[in-house]
Structure 1
Amino acid sequence: MSSEGFELPLRLLLAFRMMIDELHAELARQGHPDGRPMYGFVMQAIIRGGDTAVELGRMLGVSKQAAGKTIETLERVGYVERTTDPRDTRRKIVRLTPYGMDALTRSARIFDTLRARWAEELGEERLQALESDLRRMTPANLWRLDIPGWFGTL
């Protein structure tokens, strides 16, 4: 059965959307009702070195102002805090709070559960083959976090 070319990216996007929606529904049940899909990209960027609005914006592919607004939102929700850099008091750094780290830890466990569900439905061998094929067809850098800027949503 042959598919039209546009179907593959749409199916990949639908699979991503479905997993992210399931993740956030479960995160809400586990005490993170304010989580949003874009927050995961932002929090991953923070723990990977984007600890100022400038660095975060660069990593996410958005402006410093957009990154600053997102930091304010995450701070209001309780996922991050801003502190003064002890090496340069003019510089504000962003860190995840224990609540933010909890969200990431729970997310990782939920993703493991979702993957297990896919393995149960498709079979472990088929799922591993799918993952292997996707690794072959995509860049090696798994942590490309500039999707918010690419989508133009921040």
Structure 2
Amino acid sequence: MSSQGFELPLRLLLAFRVLIDELHAELARQGHPDIRPMHGFVMQAIGPAGTTAVELGRTLGVSKQAAGKTIDTLERIGYVERSIDPHDTRRKIARLTPHGMDALNRSARIFDTLRARWAEELGEERLHALESDLRRMTPDNLWRLDIPGWFGTL
């Protein structure tokens, strides 16, 4: 069966959407009902060491204001806390709270479960081949977090 060129990116995006929707449904069941798909990119960019709104904006490819608003949202729902940078009191550092770290840890386990389900459905060899082919066709940097800025949505 022949496919038109536009179908490949749409199928890849749809596969991403299916996985992310299933992840967030399970995260909600496990005590994280307020977290949204874009929050995962943001929390990965904040990382265990924390970051400033300026640095976060740069990493995500969005403005400092957009990054700050997202930090505000994550702070309001308990995933991030702000503190003064001990090396420069003019800077505020956003850090993940234990609740934020819990969401990231649960996400990793849920993704493992989702992958196992895909392997069961497609077969481990076919899934491994798909992953290998995607690795061959995409850049090595798995953690490219500038997608929010690329989509223009943050």
**Given the two structures, how large is their TM-score scaled by the length of structure 2?**
0.98
**Counterpart mapping for 1:66-85 below 5 A:** 66-85=66-85
Q: Unaligned regions of 5+ residues in structure 1, if any? A: none
Structure 2: how far apart are the matches of 1:136 and 1:36? 30
Query: Percent same amino acid among aligned pairs?
Result: 87
Query: Equivalents in 2 of 1:102, 1:66: separation in Å?
Result: 24
**Residue 93 of structure 2: aligned partner:** 93
Q: Which runs of 4+ in 1 moved over 3 A?
A: none
2:147 aligned partner, one-letter code = I
Q: C-alpha distance in 1, partners of 2:48/2:37? A: 18
Task: Give, in angstroms, the shift of residue 68 of structure 1.
Answer: 0.3
Q: 2: distance between equivalents of 1:102 and 1:63?
A: 27
**Alignment root-mean-square deviation, CA:** 0.9
Instruction: Indicate the SS of the match to 1:4.
Output: coil
Match of 1:62 in 2: 62
CA distance in 2, matches of 1:19, 1:121: 14
How many pairs are equivalent?
Answer: 154
For structure 2, the 5+ residue unaligned runs are none
Matches within 5 A, 1:10-21: 10-21=10-21
Please tell me whether the aligned partners of residues 41 and 145 of structure 1 are also in contact (alpha carbons under 8 angstroms): yes
Which one-letter code corresponds to 1:87 in the other structure? H
